Amino acid sequence: MRNSLFYKVFGTYLVITLIAMLVVGLYATRQIKSKLMERIDTELTSYTQIISTTPSLSKIISEIASLSKTSDARVTLIGSDGVILADSDGKASEMDNHLNRPEVQEARVKGTGRSIRFSTTLGINTLYVALPIKEGPAIKGYIRLARPLTEVKHYIQEINLLILQSFLIVGILSFLIAFVFTSRLTSPIHEMEQFTERLLDGEDPGSLMIHSSDETGRLARNINSMVMRLTEKIQFADEEKGKLESLLASMEDGILLLDANDRIEAINDASKKMFSTRFRDIVGRTTLEAFRNIDMQEALDRFKETGEPVSQEIILEEDQRALDVTVSPVHGLPENEGKTIIVLHEVTRLKKLEKVRADFVANVTHEIKTPLTAILGFIETLEGGAIEESETAKNFLRTIHEHAERLDRLVDDLLVISNAELGEIHFSFETVSLNGVIENALIVIERKASEKKLIVKKEIPDDLPSIWGDRDRLHQILLNVLDNAVKFTPDSGTVSIKAFDGRDGNVYIEISDTGIGIPNGEIPRLGERFYRVDKARSRELGGTGLGLSIVKHLMTAHKGRVEIKSHVGTGTTVLLIFPVFQEELTA
Amino acid sequence: MNMTEKSHTSIQYEKELQDIKENLLYEGALVEQAIEYAIQSLLERDSDLAQSVIDHDEHIDELDEKIEEQCIRILALRQPAAKDLRFIATAIKVNGHLERIGDLAVNIARRALDLNEVPPVKPYIDLPRMADITREMVKESLDALVREDCGLADVVRKKDEQVDNINEQIFRELLTFMMEDPKTIHRALLITQISKSLERISDHAESVAKMVIYMVTGESVKHQGSSGDCEK
C-alpha cells in the first residue's frame, strides 16, 4: 500500500525530529540544572561568606536559627577540631565529629569547601558549603551551610515534564507534517512508477497528471512527451509493416526469402498456395527439403555460381503447373546481406495457350495438307494418262471437287473462328424469333437426314419468346449442331429438336440424337478446335473439326451457353441456352 | 580439447550430416522426375522423353556413389551414436532403394521405347492409375523422411497393397488378351513388365517408409508387413 520510499522519508524525518528533540531536551536540562546549581552554590557561598565574617562564634550560635531561616539553609557551626558547636537543625551534642567531612577539609586547606552528598539525615542530595572562620591566620572554626537540592530536583522535574509535553506536541505535529510532506513528495513518484508499470505491461498508461512546478512535475511532463513520441513511432512502424504485409499477402506472385544459409526465412500467402501440396512448416527448411524440385535447385545453383539473377521455368510435378522462377540477391540493410529472394510467377495458363496454339497450327497444317495431297495425287494420275479413260477421269474429278470443297469449307470455318476470337466478327443484332431460324435450319439438313432414313422430330411452340441475335449466325449455330446430330447418328436413328421457354429468363433449344454418343471424359474438350473423339470417322463424314468450336464462340457472343450430355451408344443431347430479349439489355 | 575446438567440430559435423540429407533429397527428386518422365513417355508415346530418362540415370548413379562414400566416411571418422547412427543407417539403405528405383524407371522407359514402335493394345487405364499411386508412394516416403513423419510413412505402407492388386489385375486382363489373340503377346508382355517394374518401385518406396519409422522410433518394422503401427 504505502511504498518504501514513503517510509524511508517519513521515518527519517521522524527520527531526525526525535533525535533533535532528544538532544535539545537533554542539553537544555543539563544546562538548566547546572545553572541552577551554580546559582544555589553562589547564593549559599555568599551567605556562608557573610556569616563567616561574624567575629564572634557565640553570636553565631545564638543567632543560628535566624541565620538558617534567612539563608534558607541548615547552618552548622563546627569547631576547629570538628566538633559541632551549633546546628540549626538539631542538637549539636548528638552529632558526630565533622572534621573529616570533605567540605570541611577542603575549607581548611583551600579556604572554601563544597561538596554534594546524599544526606542520610534528609534523604536527598544536599549541597554543603563550608568556610573557615579565621582570626588572623588561625582557624577558629568552620561555618557550613547545607541546602537540600529539593528545589533543584523539583525544578528539574518540572522542566522535564514541560519538555516531555513539548515533545508530545511537537511529536504529533511533526508526525502529521511529516506524513503530509512525505506523501506529497512520494506520491508523484509512486504515480510515475505505476505509469511505467502499465507501459511495460503493454497497456495504455494514460498520461501523468502531476502539476507541481518542481523537478517531479517536469519529470512527469517529460515522461508524458516521451511516451507520446514512442507511441507515435511504434504506430508508424506498425503501419509500415502492415502496408508491407498486405502488399505481400495480396500479391499473385509467390515470394520466398532465403537466409544466408539458404534456409527459407519467410514466404508469402501466394507461395503457400502454389506449393499447397507440400507441407506447412516450410520455414527453416532448405529448398531441397521443402520442394524437392530439380529445376528450382538448378536455378538456385546457377545463381550461387554467377551471383547474377537467374530466371527459369519450372514444372511442379504433382499438378503439372508451370512457374516462372526468378532468383536474385537481396540488397539493403547489412543484416540482410547474403540473403536470396525467389519470385514465383504462375505461367501455367500461358503455357497452355502456347500448347493450344502449337496444336492448332499443327492441326491446321495437317487438315489442309490431307486434302491437298489427295488432290495433287489425283491430278498427277490424270496427267499420267488416266485422263484418257473417261469414267475414271470423271470419278477422279468428282473426288478432286469434293476435296477442294472441303478445303474451302475449312478455310471459311477457320476465318469464322479466328474472327470470333479476335472479336472481329461483325454481328448485326436484332430481335429474332427462333421459330423461323429453326425451320430454316431443318430444311437444310432434311436432305441428309432422309438419305440416312433418319426420323426428324420437332417440338417447337409458336409462342417462343424472341431473342436478341444475329440471324445468320444463329442459322450457323443450329446448322452445325443439327449437322453433327445427323452425321453421328447411324441409319434409321432419330434426331429431335425441342424448343421451350425455361421461365427463368432463358429460351432453351434441345437437339438430341440416337447416335454413337461421346465418352464422358471427352465432353469438356469438345469445344477445342479440331478436337475429334474419333478422328478417322469424323473426317470421313466430311467434318472440319471446327463445328463445335464455332458454336461455342457464337453462343458466347449471343450471351448464351452450350451444355452437352451424352451416353456412349445411346445418343447425345446438345442444349443451347439463349437469354430472352429484354429492352434494357440491348447495350 | 578446449571449448572452441569442440563447437567447431559440431558445426562441421552438422554440415556433413546436412549434406548427406540434401544429397539424398536431390537423388529423390531426380528419381521422382525419372518415374514421371518414364510414365509420360509411355502414355504420350514420346520416345525422346524415354531416351532422356535412360540417359539421365547416370546422374542418379553418381549421387548414389557419392552418398554412400559420405556415409562410410562419417561412420569411420565420427563414430556416430544413437539418432545420428540411425540416420546414417537409414541414409545408406534409402540411398540403395532410390538407386534401384532409378534403374526400374529406366526399365520402364526402355519398354516404352519398344511399345511406342507398335500400335497400342488398348487404351491405358490401369497403368496410369498404378503409376499415380506408385509416384505418390515415392513422393510421400521422401516427404516422410524429410519431415520425420511416422504417420505419413504408415500411409505409404498401406498403399502398397493397392499397387499389388492392380498389378495382378493387369496381368489377368492381359492374359485374356494374349489368349484371345496371340499377335498381342509381344506388346502385352512388355506391358506386364512395366507393371512389374512399377510394383517393384512401390515395394522400394515402402521400404523407404519403413526405414523412416526405424529412424524416428528406433524400432525396426522391416518384416511386419503393413500391420505394424507407429506411435510418435
What CATH number does residue B137 fall under?
1.20.58.220
**CA-CA distances (angstroms) from residue B98 to A250, A509, B28, B102, B193?**
40, 58, 7, 6, 19
Percent of chain A with pLDDT over 70: 94
Helix, strand or coil, per DSSP, at residue A144: strand
pLDDT of residue A505: 86
Same fold for the domain at A58-148 and the one at A251-346? yes
Q: 0.80 cut: is pTM over it?
A: no
A547 min Cα distance to partner chain B (Å): 26
Spatial strand order of the sheet with A561-567 comes to A455-459, A494-501, A506-513, A571-579, A561-567
CB-CB under 8 Å, B21 with A293: no
Residue with cell 538539631: A90
Residue of chain B whose alpha carbon sits nearest to that of A298? B26
Q: Which residues of A touch B18 (CB under 8 A)?
A: 286
Q: Interface of chain B against chain A, CB under 8 Å?
A: 18, 21-22, 25-26, 28-30, 32-33, 36, 139, 142-143, 146-147
Is residue A449 scored above 70 in pLDDT? Answer: yes
String of b and e for B196-211 (b: at least 16 CB within 10 Å)?
bbbbbbbbbbbbbbbb
Select the CATH number that applies to the domain covering A58-148 from these four: 3.40.50.720, 3.20.20.140, 3.40.50.150, 3.30.450.20.
3.30.450.20
Helices (H) and strands (E) in chain B, counts: 6, 0
**Length of chain A (residues):** 587
Tell me how many domains chain B contains.
1
Higher pLDDT, residue A92 or A574: A574
- Domain A251-346, CATH homologous superfamily name and number: PAS domain (3.30.450.20)
pLDDT of residue A536: 62
Q: What's phi and psi for A427, nearest 5 deg? A: -100, 145
Q: Please identify every stretch of chain B with a pLDDT value under 70, giving residue numbers as ranges.
A: 1-9, 121, 222-232
C-alpha closest to that of B154 among B102, B225, B95, B97: B225
Which H/E stretch holds residue A573?
A: strand A571-579
Mean pLDDT over residues A28-36, rounded?
Answer: 86
Percent of chain A with pLDDT over 90: 7
Q: What is the ipTM of this complex?
A: 0.76
A278, A279, A294: residue with CB nearest B29? A294
Question: Residue B70: inside a domain, yes or no?
Answer: yes
pLDDT of residue A409: 84
From A272-281, A445-454, A496-505, the region with the lowest mean pLDDT: A272-281
Is residue A204 scored above 90 in pLDDT? Answer: no
Whether A66 contacts A75, CB under 8 Å: no
Question: Residue B115: inside a domain, yes or no?
Answer: yes
Indicate which of B11, B15, B63, B147 best probes the interface with A, i.e. most A CBs within 10 Å of its own CB.
B147
CB-CB under 8 Å, A292 with B142: yes
Cα(A85)–Cα(A214) distance, rounded to whole angstroms?
80
Question: Residue B135: inside a domain, yes or no?
Answer: yes
Question: Which segments of A130-214 does DSSP mark as H helices, in order?
Answer: 150-201
Range of the domain at B101: 12-217
B18, B22, B30: residue with CB nearest A294? B30
CB-CB under 8 Å, A279 with B29: no
**CA-CA distances (angstroms) from residue A461 to A417, A438, A502, A509, B141?**
32, 11, 12, 11, 63
Residue of chain A whose alpha carbon sits nearest to that of B59? A294
Domain extent listing, chain A: 1-52+151-206, 58-148, 212-248, 251-346, 352-419, 427-585
Q: Which residues of A touch B30 (CB under 8 A)?
A: 294
Q: pLDDT tens-digit profile of A531-572?
A: 777 666 666 666 667 788 888 888 888 888 899 988 888 889
Question: Residue B198: inside a domain, yes or no?
Answer: yes
Domain A427-585 in this protein, CATH class: alpha beta
Question: Residue B229: inside a domain, yes or no?
Answer: no
pLDDT of residue B28: 93
pLDDT of residue A291: 83
Select the CATH number that applies to the domain covering A352-419 from these four: 1.10.287.130, 3.50.50.60, 3.40.50.300, 3.40.50.2000.
1.10.287.130
A318 touching chain B per CB within 8 A: yes
For residue B232, give every residue at least 6 positions away whose Cβ sits within 8 Å of its Cβ, in sequence order, or none: B150, B151, B216, B217
Question: Residue B139: inside a domain, yes or no?
Answer: yes
pLDDT of residue B1: 39
Higher pLDDT, residue A418 or A314: A314
Is residue A219 scored above 80 in pLDDT? Answer: yes
Question: Residue B222: inside a domain, yes or no?
Answer: no
DSSP conformation class of A435: H
Cα(A568)–Cα(A519) distance, rounded to whole angstroms?
6
